[in-house]
Amino acid sequence: MSQKIIQKLIKWEMAGVILPILLISLLLHFLADGFLTPFNLDSLALTVAITSIVGLSQLLTLSIGQFNLALGSMGAFTAMLLGALLEKYGVPVLWAILIGVAAGTLLGMIQGLLIVKTGINPFIITLALSSVILGIATAVTRGEAYFQLPETFKLIGKLYIFNIPLLFLIAVFVAILVFIIMNKTPLGRQILATGANAKAALFSGINTAKIIIIVHSLSGALAGLAGILQVARLGSAQLSIGMDWLLVSFAAPVLGGTLLSGGKVTVFGTLFGAILMAIIINGLVLININSFWFQLFLGVILLAAFEMNRIRLRLLGKGN
C-alpha cells in the first residue's frame, strides 16, 4: 500500500515539471515563430546543458541539506585557469580539461574541509569563499579574458553527434553518473542519510564529516566542469562566467522535485527543471519581451518552484 503511494508521488513530481514543459512548448509552437527551428533547439540544448550541470552541482550540496554559494566563483576560477593553461602555457586540451576539473574538485574539497573542521556556519563559509575564489581569479588575471584558445578546444562547443550537440550529451552523461552515484552506490545512500538526519546518520556509523567533504568536492568538480563547458560554448574564458548561476542552480533541482530540506533528490528532474527554465526564457525572447525583464521572470520562476516544493512537502506529509 505504502509503495503505491510512493509510486504515485514519484509520478506526480515528474509530472509537475514535464507537463509545464509540454504545455509551454505547444503554446510557443503555435504562438511564436521559430520555436522548433534547428537553430533555436540547438541554442536551447546548449543552455540546458550548462544549467543542468550547475543545477546538479547544487543538487549534491542540497542532498546533505547544505548550499554551495561559491559554485559560480568555482566555475569562473576553473574557466580562467583553463584559459591560462591553453593560451599562455600551451597545455594539451585533454590535460587542461583534466587539470580544470581537478582544480574545481580541490576548491570544493577545501570548502568541505573548512565546513567540517571549523564548525562555522556552512552558509557563511561558502559566501566568503565565493568572494575569495573569485577574488583570486580576478587578481591573477587582472580582469582580462582569454580569447586565443586552440580550435580543437572550441570544437567541443560546436560538435554534433547524431545531430545532438556534444555539450548536451555530456550533460546527460553527467546526470546518469550522478544518478548512479546517488541511487545505486553505498556512497549515495550515506549521502542521503546524512541529508535526511545528520545525527541519526552519525549514530548509525556513517562518517558524516567525510561525506560532507566528498559532497562538496563533487559539487566543486561539477561547477568546474560547467565552467569549462561554458568556455567551450563562448569560445573564450571570461570572469563573468558563473556570475548568474546562483539562482538557476537552485531553481533547476527544486523545479525537478528535489526537496530543499535535504534527504531527497531527483537527478533527472533537475535536467527537466533546467529544460523548463530554458524554455520559459526562450519563449520570452521569441515573443519579443525586453531582455531587461528576464531577471524578474527568473525570480518568479524560483518563487513558483518554492510553492511547488511546499505543496509537495504537504503531500508527502499526508503520504507518510
Q: Specify the DSSP class assigned to residue 89.
A: S
Q: SS3 for 289?
A: coil
- What is d(CA 228, CA 241) in angstroms, rounded to the nearest whole number? 10
Min CB(106)–other proteins separation in Å: 17
- Measured from the CB atom, the residue of 10 and 120 that comes closer to other proteins is 120
Start-to-end CA distance of the chain, whole Å, equals 11
% helix, strand, coil for the chain, step of 5 = 75, 0, 20
Name the residues that contact other proteins, by CB under 8 A. Answer: 67, 118-121, 123-125, 127-136, 138-139, 142-143, 246-247, 250, 260-261, 290, 292-300, 302-303, 306, 310
CB-nearer residue toward other proteins: 20 or 165: 20
Residues in the chain: 320
Largest CA distance in the chain: 63
Nearer to other proteins, 45 or 71 (CB): 71
Q: How far is the CB of 283 from other proteins (least distance, A)?
A: 16
**Between 36 and 303, CB nearer to other proteins:** 303
Residues forming a β-bridge with 146: 237
For residue 3, the number of C-alpha atoms closer than 13 Å in the C-beta half-sphere is: 0
Q: How far apart are CA 167 and CA 2, in angstroms?
A: 40
> At its nearest, how many Å lie between other proteins and the CB of residue 255?
12
Q: Which residue has the cell 508527502?
A: 316
Residue 78: other Cβ atoms inside 10 A: 34
Nearest CB to other proteins, comparing residues 127 and 315: 127
In whole angstroms, the minimum distance from the beta carbon of 290 to other proteins comes to 7
- Phi and psi based region of residue 163 (left: phi greater than 0; alpha: psi -120 to 50; beta: remaining): left
Q: Provide the minimum distance between the beta carbon of 194 and other proteins in the complex, in angstroms, as a whole number.
A: 16
Residue 141 Cβ vs other proteins, minimum distance, rounded to whole Å: 8
162 phi/psi in degrees, rounded to 5: 50, 45
Minimum Å distance from CB 156 to other proteins? 29
Nearer to other proteins, 37 or 131 (CB): 131
Cβ at position 127, least distance to other proteins in Å: 7
> Where do we find the cell 580576478?
138
Looking at the Cβ atoms of 111 and 190, the one nearer to other proteins is: 111
CA distance 195 to 259: 10
Nearer to other proteins by C-beta: 39 or 292? 292
CA–CA dist 142, 134 (Å, integer): 12
